[in-house]
Structure 1
Amino acid sequence: MRTLKQALLALLVLSSAVADLPTEMPIPEAFIGSPVGTASL
């Protein structure tokens, strides 16, 4: 249950981070480069 909460929180943080990124930046690269993306890999 805790990991589900962490995943949802990470998704929320990621979505807000992606919303702040310039549109020309590819989302997968931004995801992998972010702390959240690196932690989930």
Structure 2
Amino acid sequence: MKRLQAFKFQLRPGGQQECEMRRFAGACRFVFNRALARQN
């Protein structure tokens, strides 16, 4: 029997880290939306 296990972590980034994480998330969202648009 397989068992799934998950972990949850709370991130507390500083000023510069938070800015970079937001930019990275925005870039990922852009790429994902572009890929969806190409499929249709």
Moved over 3 A (4+): none
Stretches of structure 1 lacking an aligned partner (at least 5 in a row): 24-41
TM-score for the superposition, normalised by structure 1: 0.50
Q: Which has the higher contact order (CA 8 A, sep 6+)?
A: 1
Question: Percent identity over the alignment?
Answer: 9
How many aligned positions are there? 23
Q: Which structure shows the bigger proportion of residues in helix conformation? A: 1
CA RMSD of aligned residues (A): 1.5
1:17 aligns with 2:36: no
Bigger radius of gyration: 2
1:8 positional shift:
0.2
